[in-house]
Amino acid sequence: MHQQFMRLALELAAQGRFTTAPNPMVGAVLTKAGRTIGKGYHRRFGGPHAEVEAIHDAGRAARGADLYVTMEPCCFCGKTGACTDAVKAAGIRRVFAATLDPHRRVRGEGVRCLRAAGIKVSIGALAREARRLNEAYFTYHERRRPFVVLKAALTLDGMLADGRGRSKWISGPEARAWAQELRAEAGAVLVGSGTVLADNPRLTCRICSGRQPLRIVLDADLKTPPKARVVSGPGRVLILTASRNRKRATALERAGAEVVRLAASGEMLGWSEILAELYRREVLTVLIEGGACVASSALDAGIVDKVHIVHAPVLLGPGKGLTWAMKPRPLGKSLRLRQVTHKVLGDDVVTTGYLEGS
C-alpha cells in the first residue's frame, strides 16, 4: 500500500518536469483509511509546493491523515512558506517521504522539525525512483555542479557530420521533436563555436512556454558572428571565452549576448570553470548538443552523466565522428554505459544510458 501511494506521488511529481527548476519535482498524496483524499504536485518554480497543494485539495479531511511525499518537506521560507509549517497546521498524523532533501538548508531538518512536533516520519519508500526523477537536483546539491547530458544524432557508421561539418538533418522529425523535450527540461543548451559556424542553429525550444533554456556557446577565440541566429533568438545567450579581444566581445554584447571570460586549458576552455560558472547561475541541467570537439572534451574530462545517442538509418562514409577528438583508449578502459534503454522514434533508435561513475 505504501508503494502504491508513493508511486502515485511520483507520477504527480513528473508533471512538473518542464517548469519547476531550479526547484525539484515533488508530488504529494494524502490518504486516510487506505484511500486517497488529496493530491498535489509542485507545478512551477515560485508556486505552491506539493504538500500545500495536497492539503488544499483535501481540505478539512487532512486532519489525522497520512502524507506521502516524494521528498522531505522543506523547513524554511523562500518564495513560499515552509512546508513543515503547513503539515503541522493541517494536523497530519504521519509523513512518508521517499528521500531527504539535499538542499543545504534542509538535509534532514524538515524531518527533525516534524518529529519534534510529534508527527511520525518514515523515509525510503521508492527512494531510488525518487532520486532518479530528480537526478539533476541531487547532482547539483550533492556534487555542486550541474547534471550534464550529452545528446548526439549519428549515422549508422558513427558520423556526427559530413566532411564539411554539416549535420542537418541526420535524425528524422520524430527524434527532433523529442529533442525539443530535452531542451525544455534543461536549464541550458550548450554547443561549441564550430557548430555555430557550420549550422547556424537557434538552439531555442519550440515547446517552451515563456522560459527558454540558457543558450551557451563555448568560443575560446570569439569566432561567433554577432548576427548568428543563436545570438538573436529569444532568451539569454552566454558566450564563454578565453579571448581578451574586447572589440569582438563588445560587438557580441551589443547584439544581445553576455560574454564571460574563463581560464583555458590549451585550446579548450576548462570544464571545471565552465561548470562552476553554471552552478553559480543555478543551472541544474546542461544539455550538450555539439559538436564533436565539445563532446570529445566533455567525455575525456569525465563530466558527462547521461548520454542520449540517436542512431539514424543513414550511411555517410568518412566524415566527423562523435569522438574523433577523444584521446585513444584501450578497450579495457572504454567508457561504458549502464542502465541502458532503447526506444524507437520514427525510423531512428535512441540509446540512453548513464556513464559509469555517474
Looking at domain 2-136, does it have CATH number 3.90.226.10? Answer: no
Where, residue-wise, is CATH 3.40.140.10 in the chain?
Answer: 2-136
Query: What is the C-alpha to C-alpha distance for residues 37 and 4, in angstroms, rounded to an integer?
Result: 14
The gap from C-alpha 255 to its chain's centroid, in whole angstroms, comes to 28
CA–CA distances in Å: residue 194 to residues 13, 37, 198, 203, 224: 38, 55, 6, 14, 9
Question: Catalytic residue positions?
Answer: 51
Encode pLDDT of 21-53 as tens digits.
Answer: 899 999 999 999 999 999 999 999 889 999 999
Encode pLDDT of 222-231 as tens digits.
Answer: 999 999 999 9
The 3-state DSSP class for residue 264 equals strand
| pLDDT-based confidence at residue 298 (cuts at 50, 70, 90) | very high
Percentage of residues in the chain having pLDDT higher than 70: 96
pLDDT above 80 for 336: yes
Query: What is the C-alpha to C-alpha distance for residues 161 and 235, in angstroms, rounded to an integer?
Result: 27
104: Cβ–Cβ under 8 A, 6 or more apart, which residues?
141
pLDDT at position 1: 67
pLDDT at position 110: 92
In degrees and rounded to multiples of 5, residue 41 shows phi and psi of -150, 160
Q: Find the helix or strand (DSSP H, E) in which 254 lies.
A: helix 246-255
Residue 312 near residue 179 (C-beta atoms within 8 A): no
pLDDT above 70 for 64: yes
pLDDT at position 80: 66
pLDDT at position 79: 61
- Alpha carbon dihedral 284, 136, 99, 103, in 10-degree steps, equals -20
Amino acid at 236: R
| pLDDT-based confidence at residue 328 (cuts at 50, 70, 90) | confident
Q: What is the CATH number of domain 145-355?
A: 3.40.430.10
pLDDT at position 78: 62
Query: What is the C-alpha to C-alpha distance for residues 226 and 240, in angstroms, rounded to an integer?
Result: 14
Residue 308 near residue 149 (C-beta atoms within 8 A): yes
Where, residue-wise, is CATH 3.40.430.10 in the chain?
Answer: 145-355
**Could you give the maximum distance between any two Cα atoms of the chain, in Å?**
70
Encode pLDDT of 109-125 as tens digits.
Answer: 999 999 999 999 999 99
